[in-house]
Amino acid sequence: MNEFFHMGGYAFYVWTSYGLALIILLWNVILPRQRQKQLLARLKRKFRQSPPQGNNQ
């Protein structure tokens, strides 16, 4: 197991690459998810204050 993490002496380079990839990939999933949730919540609040029935275009 230790040998696996050691990566034949290249641990720093290999694990930094994989770590960075993980951060970037996760970031690009979490960010739009949160944006979507916030937007939906905001719209919900807005429409509750002024129901859409009357002002349909």
Partner 1 sequence: MWSFLHKLASPKHFYHFAGRLIPWLGWSTLLLMLAGLYTGLVVAPTDYQQGESYRIIYIHVPAAWMSMFVYMVMAGAGAIGLIWKIKMADIVASSAAPLGAAFTFLALVTGSLWGKPMWGTWWIWDARLTSELILLFLYLGFIALQSAIEDKRTAANACAVLALVGVVNIPIIHYSVEWWNTLHQGPTVTRFDKPAMDTSMLIPLMIMFFAFKLYFGLTVLMRARGEILERERNSTWVKQMVTESS
Q: How far is the CB of 35 from partner 1 (least distance, A)?
A: 5
- 39 counts as binding partner 1 under rule CB under 8 A: yes
Q: Which of 2, 29, 49, 54 binds partner 1 (CB under 8 A)?
A: 29
- 56 counts as binding partner 1 under rule CB under 8 A: yes
CA distance to 2, 3, 8, 10, 15, per residue, from 18 (Å): 17, 17, 16, 12, 5
- 21 counts as binding partner 1 under rule CB under 8 A: yes
- 26 counts as binding partner 1 under rule CB under 8 A: no
